[in-house]
Amino acid sequence: SSELTQDPAVSVALGQTVRITCQGDSLRNYYVSWYQQKPGQAPVLVIYGKNIRPSGIPDRFSGSSSGNTASLTITGAQAEDEADYYCNSRDSSDNLSPFGGGTKVTVL
């Protein structure tokens, strides 16, 4: 299966913790990567592999995975974290690379 499922929207109070989930059968065998996208900008990679943050990504972003579900956690959410977040992985054949539908994170 090549489908990745995300909740459409979540909200979090400033300074609190929010978890964004991504579900898909292929996550049992492939790593997930997570992207932050702000309006009018290209997506930015925030987590890949086994919870690895690219250079410049704050350590309040972390990733985890269990079975068919991967999670992106923002610990101590900041106003600038308000954005759309997308997960991505490979499908079971390793020939496709679908994205989840995206989760809009609102920081209250």
> Does 89 participate in binding another protein (rule CB under 8 A)?
yes
Instruction: For the CB of residue 42, give the shortest distance to another protein in the complex, in Å.
Output: 4
> Does 62 participate in binding another protein (rule CB under 8 A)?
no
Name the maximum alpha-carbon separation found in the chain: 41
Contacts of 41 (CB under 8 A, 6+ apart): none
Residues 13 to 42: which contact another protein by CB under 8 A? 30-31, 33-35, 37, 42
63: helix, strand or coil: strand
Q: Count other C-beta atoms under 10 Å from residue 64's C-beta.
A: 14
> Does 85 participate in binding another protein (rule CB under 8 A)?
no
Q: Measured from the CB atom, is 31 or 76 closer to another protein?
A: 31
Say how many residues touch another protein, by CB under 8 A.
28
Q: Count other C-beta atoms under 10 Å from residue 1's C-beta.
A: 11
Determine contact, residues 4/92, Cβ cutoff 8 Å: no
> Does 94 participate in binding another protein (rule CB under 8 A)?
yes
Contact set with another protein (CB under 8 A): 30-31, 33-35, 37, 42-45, 47-49, 54, 84, 86, 88-90, 94-102
